[in-house]
Chains A and B, each alone.
Chain A
Amino acid sequence: MFRQSKRITSGRKNFDNYSAKDKNLYVQDGDLLSSVYSQRLNLYDIPPLNEITLEEFETWAIDRLKILIEIESCQLRGRNFKEISAHLKPILAKLLPLTSNSKDSSLLISERKKDHYSHFILRLAFCRSEELRARFVKAETILFKIRYDLLSIQEQKNFVKSIDLPWQFIDNDEKLKFEKQLYDSCYNLIKLNLGASNSNEEIIKKTFENEIFLKVPFKYVLNLVSSRSVFINDGYCYVPQFLQLNLITSEFSQKLDEKLILTMKTIPRLDEDDRLLPVLNNLSNGYVLDEFLTQKGSGSLNRDSDELNASNLNQVSEFMPLCMQNLMYGLKKHNHLKYNGRQQLGRFIKELGLPLNEALLFWKNSLKGLNFEKDYAYNIKHTYGAVGGRIKYRGMNCTNIMNQPKPHSSEYHGCFYKENSIDDIFAKLKMMQMTDEQINQITDSVREGKYQIACTMVLESKCGGKTMPIVTHPNFYFEEAYKYSKDVSANKES
């Protein structure tokens, strides 16, 4: 897909450089349907080799990224597979449709091409760190499952046939030979699959009798081995057919993970390309800070540079998420914050756009009675990248904040919803004049461990009930709350 040699200026056709092996993979557009794109679904074994324009490169990738972000946010909201699938169907149809084989061929090719290329572009963008890889694999796997579900039964069968996995169906003799072992080992799986309500011995037995089993070498289904949930004989796992999708998806995610690591290793050779890297960096950055950076245009950048300063920071603290409000409270109460708290709040303030001199002033005023210049100033300058390693730190996102060490009794850092008792949260929300109904919903989310959902609900109530994307960054919370209050006051004036 990408040149590995330096740019050849006379035209952009660089295919002369491909080795003989690559040439075999290069397929004329017309032949695509019978080879790479013969199936609606793609396991992405073969990388695309044909040329696309830079614009296609960017827009296709962004379209796919939107879908993956949507999947992630559904997951964060704790939706189950059926709900995610229903939610994504219309979005998929709009951004990344895959129509069935019966339609006209040029449309099929362009759809499948977009799907194919966008997947590989995002691989390039998301292979860089372990966290990115894990999230990418997870979202892509769900996308794969949703699409598999959308196939007709005939298409599913064809697709399974087309993939090269070392499994085979066992015949009836073999099933009879191991009847007891097979029944015992998949009894609970069948029960689970049927649902607790409509499963009694008889139905299970009947389902078992109709079930077809696959024989798979054990190393392809390690999770089924370690959970002892299938019968194993002579190195083969006997897997009931209803688990086939699990087999395919686990193979899919495992392979994708391996390929991403390979991509990461080869990416330095791509670094000399001056056209693609900015696009790729943009893509992965948007994903790291989630929606915060992509929507940043509406936030701090629109603010006048002197709108926020050391003296009015306390006044805008009501727009801060509760984790930051809590830190401001602790700072006021003790005239001091411990290291983790200073880091969390300091980087948040920096991300707000407060310049270094204002930040120094703010901290100097807040840390009273302490030897500020000696003990703290260096640290703050360090955060701004003005001294030492000169790393310009970004604001912590919710994951960073939650992964900090647990705060002690005199510390205030961490996620407010995660680190405080339900009673404390209740009291705080009550103080914010929220209704009991709202508070109950929020504390329910906290009990289920969905802290970001809780935070989002608080933001939504602050913004007059407007539906918000999941909060994954405290600065996103602030910008939204701040913008809403400004809009409201502007409306009042007019």
Chain B
Amino acid sequence: MPSFASESAPEGGRSFGLNNDSSSPVKPQVEHRDTSPPEISLIPSNEVLKNSREEEEEEEKEEEKKSGDSILLQDDNENSAATATADTAADADAAATRSYKPSSSDMLYYYERLLPFKSIFLWLNHSPVPNNDFINREFAFEFKSGAYQRYNSFSSYQDFKQQVVKSNPTRFEIGAIYTLPPNKRKVLSNSKNVLKPLEKELVFDIDLTDYDEVRSCCSKTDICEKCWMFIDIAIEIVESGLKQDFGFKHLIWIFSGRRGIHCWVSDKNARSLNDPQRRAIIEYFDISKENVLRKPYHPLLEKSFNIIYNNKKNYFENFLKNQNIKNDFLIDKLKSYNTNESQLLFNKQSILELSNYLESNPNLSGFEKLSILEKFLPQSKSNINNKKLLQNLKDFKKDLVLFLLYPKLDLEVSKQTHHLLKSPFAVHPGTGNISIPIHIGFNPLTSALNLRDLINANEGLNKDNNTSLDLFQKSIATFDDFAKSIIKDEGVKKREAEDLLDF
């Protein structure tokens, strides 16, 4: 059995198609290992902070019942151009063939030879020499059986790799830096020394499932290029808010593997935020609880509106072209739209008329829906009132743009220091996609990195080219640059860091 636990071995783990050890018969050994159950303590998975994970799990089970090709499009948008439909459908086919549930042996292969443990270590340790930032960091393993093992921690990246290889989890997640090494909590903790979360990156989780009330192309775990635009907008707005408003520098966006993205903010002062501070930041960004947005817009919303509506990428126009404004959503927003004068912009009667009209004209496009609103405004005899109503309608349309396209954040993940989130470079157990760093312009259907392709490429089985390997290497380089920039900021001498980072 190949062992990568020794000091010299780790770098051998990444062969990048050099195929040094492709002659060794890996698979049979791996499958043999697979039969022995991992030694773990079963921790009930109904822990509060794991709610989001469970939801995802349920959806995966649901999906199991469906046929294997999960990302197949359900395009019910009748206004979209026919060519676009054909294009995306073709992409989806390509993606569908690549989406699979990785086997335990594939996972082991990935952990033993490919996963950049050292990069993750450097990112979390903020220095080349292992210190408490890494040693006291919690990792959680999730297994095929659904068992969830919390409070793992490692003394070095070699230890990290060894234990991941030994346990071979379907995925692993990253938690907080604690007062003690979490795996020694039972031995070390006493009345003075209790296991308490101290620090963690500020994280954001954006999931396309939360856009179901506004996207008409897909629902639940399905995604397509059209709805990935929501994610692009979210990246642009959240990143600009975090950098300009809060002054954070080091943040990275990671593809979650299926239908969402994670943002990790690694600045020292972001890591040391306490729970109320995290909550204040996430609430600053969140508009989901507001019915009417205060005018004049707060600079954050003004900026966001400009990103969505006014910039060259024409997000809003594309949205209207590719999607539609759902009738329920529109009516719902109108109903709750109380203006400052505590009167409804649309009264009950006019809302009823509007919804009847929408129902009897199911083929209206988003453009058309926006333009007919005016006709249904309640009429008033005074000109001043009518003018006011028109102004209010204009305000409503502005708000509607934000309600439709402004980022919809998963609040709970960000609020608590000890919340766990899937690690970069972990593999999504439902799709086999690897969580790589991404940015605006990423296409989850064509540019996702799938474990199967990567293994095939690494084994030299890919006939056409080595794009998967290139992508993987590029992703690691991006991530390493990110880690390096943090280390540089933490005051480690540049040369020293680069010496150690040069691999």
Chain A residues with a Cβ under 8 A of chain B: 180-181, 183-185, 187-188, 218-219, 222-223, 225-229, 231-236
Contacts and interface: CB of A to CB of B under 8 A. Distances in A.
Contact of B284 (A187, A228, A235, A236): A228
23 contacts: A184-B296, A184-B302, A187-B296, A188-B294, A218-B246, A219-B277, A223-B280, A225-B280, A225-B283, A226-B280, A226-B284, A228-B284, A228-B294, A228-B300, A228-B301, A232-B299, A233-B244, A233-B245, A234-B244, A234-B246, A234-B247, A235-B269, A236-B247
Nearest to A238: B299
Given A181-B302, A223-B280, A235-B246, 15 more contacts: A184-B298, A184-B302, A218-B246, A219-B273, A219-B277, A219-B280, A225-B284, A226-B279, A228-B298, A231-B299, A232-B246, A232-B299, A234-B245, A234-B247, A235-B247
Contacts of B279: 222, 226
Interface string B360-401: 000000000000000000000000000000000000000000
Contacts of B38: none
A222 B246 contact: no
Interface in B274-320: 276-277, 279-281, 283-284, 294, 296-302
A187 B296 CA distance: 7
Interface in B239-284: 244-248, 269, 273, 276-277, 279-281, 283-284
B277 A222 contact: yes
Interface in B195-250: 244-248
Q: Is the interface of A mostly helix, strand, loop or mixed?
A: helix
User: Which of A219, A229, A231, A233 has the most C-beta atoms of chain B within 10 angstroms of its own C-beta?
Assistant: A219
Interface residues on B, range: 20 to 34
A183 B248 CA distance: 24
A136 to B, nearest CB: 20
A465 B284 CA distance: 51
A232 B296 contact: no
B39 to A, nearest CB: 40
Contacts of B283: 225-227
User: Which of A180, A181, A222 has the most C-beta atoms of chain B within 10 angstroms of its own C-beta?
Assistant: A222
Nearest to A219: B277
A219 B273 CA distance: 9
Contacts of B248: 235
A215 to B, nearest CB: 12
For the complex of A and B, the 6 pairs showing the least CB-CB separation, nearest first, are: A235-B247, A226-B283, A222-B280, A234-B247, A181-B299, A184-B296
A229 B283 CA distance: 12
Contacts of B284: 225-226, 228, 232
B479 to A, nearest CB: 25
A235 B277 CA distance: 12
A180 B298 CA distance: 10
Contacts of A219: 273, 277, 280
A225 B280 CA distance: 6
A229 B296 CA distance: 11
Nearest to A187: B296
Contacts of A184: 296-299, 302
B157 to A, nearest CB: 32
Contacts of A229: 298
Contacts of A180: 299
A227 B286 CA distance: 10
Nearest to B277: A219
A231 B296 CA distance: 12
A187 B298 CA distance: 9
Nearest to B281: A225
Nearest to A196: B340
Nearest to A230: B298
Contacts of B294: 188, 228
A184 B301 CA distance: 11
Contacts of B302: 181, 184
B374 to A, nearest CB: 26
A180 B273 CA distance: 30
Contacts of A234: 244-247
A222 B276 contact: yes
Contacts of A218: 246, 280
Contacts of B244: 233-234
Contacts of B276: 222
A188 B340 CA distance: 11
Contacts of A236: 247
A239 to B, nearest CB: 14
A228 B285 CA distance: 8
Nearest to B272: A219
Nearest to A181: B299
Nearest to A222: B280
Nearest to B290: A228
User: Which of A180, A228, A235 has the most C-beta atoms of chain B within 10 angstroms of its own C-beta?
Assistant: A228
Contacts of B301: 228
A19 B294 CA distance: 56
Contacts of B297: 184
A223 B400 CA distance: 26
B461 to A, nearest CB: 50
